[in-house]
Amino acid sequence: MTLAVSRTFRRPFWVTPFGTEGRRDFFSNRLWPELLRDKDEDLAPNIDFIEKDGKYFLNAELPGLKKDDISISIEDGYVTVSGKKEINKEEEGTSYYLKETRSGSFTRSFRLPGKVDKENVDATFKDGVLTVAMSLEKEAETKKIEIN
């Protein structure tokens, strides 16, 4: 039988005598996973938000969700991604030895660094990854006025 051992690097206590290392281990999820877990922690997606080639790109990892479970909105200088995941209820007569699948919802909002052309936003969802491409609003060009 093989037993996997997880070892985390810890700094010696004399380097940071008042640090948070010991507290972090004491309150780790290994001791009280359900008590310390944030309700929406499991469903909140990992998101990258970048600017490239005159566009903002938001990439969100959303495994297990379908296109219809996701909504995106742009309002008041913020882009918001929301989602909802529903898992079938437990079946009668079934013994679960481990059940880590979760139901719930999430909402993530990000302030846009600049103005976005709301008419030129594209969203794709493929292989559990949502990509939102938002074109930057073109700045008004300075117009020189001739005096008659």
- Mean pLDDT value across residues 71-96: 87
Task: Give the tens place of pLDDT for each residue, 17-45.
Answer: 555 555 555 555 555 555 555 554 567 88
According to DSSP, residue 35 is labeled H
Provide the 3-class DSSP secondary structure of residue 100.
coil
The CATH code that applies to domain 40-88+99-136 is 2.60.40.790
Average pLDDT, the chain: 78
- Asked if residue 139 has pLDDT above 60, the reply is yes
Task: Give the tens place of pLDDT for each residue, 124-135.
Answer: 999 999 999 999
- 21 contacts 36 by C-beta, under 8 angstroms: no
- Asked if residue 68 has pLDDT above 70, the reply is yes
**Across the strands, what pairs with 78?**
75, 111
Domain ranges of the chain: 40-88+99-136
- Asked if residue 71 has pLDDT above 50, the reply is yes
Share of residues in the chain with pLDDT > 90 (%): 45
The answer for 128, left when phi > 0, alpha when psi is -120 to 50, beta otherwise, is left
Q: What is the pTM of this model?
A: 0.63
Of 54-58, 78-82, 87-91, 127-131, which gets the smallest average pLDDT? 87-91
- Angle, vertex CA 45, rays to CA 90 and CA 51, nearest 5: 160
Q: Specify the pLDDT at position 7.
A: 46
